[in-house]
Structure 1
Amino acid sequence: MSAMLRAENLYHQVSTSEGPLTLLNNISLQLARGESLAITGASGSGKSTLLGLLAGLDKPTGGHIWLAGEEITRMDEEQRAALRARCVGFVFQTFQLLPGLTALENVMLPSELRGERGAAKRAGNFLDRVGLSHRLHHYPRQLSGGEQQRVAIARAFASFSGDDGILFADEPTGSLDAANGERVIELLFKLNAESNTTLVLVTHEQRLAERCGVQMRMVAGEIAAGETGSGSLPEVST
């Protein structure tokens, strides 16, 4: 399988009032199409920073990232946004639904922004697959937390315009109770398997991490010792 995501020698530093602060240091990984990766670690270990860089939401201070075969570290923001619109979906802990749009309209949005026909039908199909066909015209405030996250998952999978989809999830069950969290986990992995997309998620939950084919633990901005493989480009543990 060809690599859907690859990072080489990532380094990221920010300026603070007390001087430079290193958030990530010497991160290298690769993930094939259709694989799933869990990034774990304590708060402040660099998990969400790494996720944002891998998704092209920011540029690292140093190093290289390839997403769907394209080096995003050589792109400007407009080019990265175009790539994200084509093949990247997001699921966040706080759902990030637009309050003025219905469930159907929230899921339609990625397809509409790409100017695709049949956005409503596509969105309706995904909402049906997450068990919300009876909630199409409800607004986020009228939905429970679990239902809102299911809408967010439907929107994420509706974001892919082709076969090169990659889903980034940041603590997708962090705002949910145990029952809703378990249902969201099942839906996430079910849709991911059916769509043969690549999944990268940040989580504190070991039960969620263990569902992924690949796990990587972060410690103080670095991959934990013993979790890189051999070869010219270190791989995360499987």
Structure 2
Amino acid sequence: MAVKTAIKVSNLTHTVSANTGDLTILRGISLNINEGESVAIVGASGSGKSTLLGLLAGLDVNTSGEIYLYDHAFSTMDEEQRALLRGQYVGFIFQSFHLLPSLQAVENVMLPAELKGDKDARQKAEALLDKVGLSHRLTHYPNQLSGGEQQRVAIARAFASSPKILFADEPTGNLDEGNGRIIIEQLFELNKAQGTTLVMVTHDNHLAEKCDRQLVMSAGQLVEKN
């Protein structure tokens, strides 16, 4: 069976306005990421990694070039259409967790599935929290959880809507080494179980090496595709 292309990028450029004039953050990036593949985007700070991730997820609009998510071209869509596409295909894990403080752990995880109208949202949320070792923390609020526990809730939430593509921006960046290792193992275990395409930005060499391949960025360009 032929492998599907989950993400296709063609000659991507991104320029922003600054006090000193236009600043080009990304230039001439082209890449393909296959369905089910795990890819780490690595490089020095300021190389454009997080900007690229945000563009791939449709969170921002590129200046030129084209991004396709499962053959859907972002350039033909307005913000509402991109949001609908994200809801259909995309999950996101942020470095700073982004949990809603007024919701319990299980309620945070339920939210994406509830927004999709899933009647089994709570059951699925509880099962995911059990998989990340937090079945005893279902009714705890974010401020009652450690950083590692909050990130595990965020991972469970990202998988709750069964996304075809999961984007992660420095998922271990705010964690100590021990919690970072736990998060890495759980992230790849869920990735494998659901067959999700995983694209992440990371400074963590151990995390990057676990991916199928690495995309190395420097000064807004892809300089190596392993």
TM-score (norm: length of structure 2): 0.97
Matches of 1:12 and 1:47 in 2, distance apart?
Answer: 12
SS in 2 for 1:153: helix
- Residues 112-167 of structure 1: CA deviation (Å, up to 9, x unaligned): 1112211111111111111111111000000111110000000000133xxx6100
**2:166: which partner in 1?**
167
For residue 69 of structure 1, report the CA deviation from its aligned partner.
2.5
Partner AA of 2:128 in structure 1:
F
Partner AA of 1:9 in structure 2:
N
SS in 1 for 2:216: strand
Matches of 1:158 and 1:144 in 2, distance apart?
Answer: 21
SS in 1 for 2:210: coil
**1:206: which partner in 2?**
205
Matches of 1:123 and 1:17 in 2, distance apart?
Answer: 46
**2:68: which partner in 1?**
66
For 1:107-186, list aligned pairs within 5 A: 107-160=109-162, 165-186=164-185
- The answer to whether residue 93 in structure 2 is matched with residue 88 in structure 1 is no
RMSD (Å) for aligned C-alpha atoms: 0.9
Matches of 1:199 and 1:21 in 2, distance apart?
Answer: 29
Matches of 2:115 and 2:72 in 1, distance apart?
Answer: 22
Matches of 2:71 and 2:135 in 1, distance apart?
Answer: 36
- Residues 154-196 of structure 1: CA deviation (Å, up to 9, x unaligned): 0000133xxx610000000000000000000000011101110
- The answer to whether residue 188 in structure 2 is matched with residue 196 in structure 1 is no
**2:57: which partner in 1?**
55
Partner AA of 1:125 in structure 2:
A
Matches of 2:76 and 2:134 in 1, distance apart?
Answer: 40
Matches of 1:54 and 1:73 in 2, distance apart?
Answer: 12
Matches of 2:114 and 2:68 in 1, distance apart?
Answer: 27
Matched pairs, number: 224
TM-score (norm: length of structure 1): 0.92
Matches of 1:90 and 1:172 in 2, distance apart?
Answer: 10
For 1:217-228, list aligned pairs within 5 A: 217-224=216-223, 227=224
Matches of 2:205 and 2:11 in 1, distance apart?
Answer: 27
SS in 2 for 1:210: helix
For residue 15 of structure 1, report the CA deviation from its aligned partner.
0.6
For residue 87 of structure 1, report the CA deviation from its aligned partner.
1.5
Query: Unaligned stretches of 5+ in structure 1?
Result: 228-235
For 1:4-23, list aligned pairs within 5 A: 4-23=6-25
Matches of 1:11 and 1:44 in 2, distance apart?
Answer: 15
Structure 1 segments, 4+ long, off by >4 Å, are none
Q: What's the % identity of the aligned pairs?
A: 60
For residue 24 of structure 1, report the CA deviation from its aligned partner.
0.2
For residue 73 of structure 1, report the CA deviation from its aligned partner.
2.5
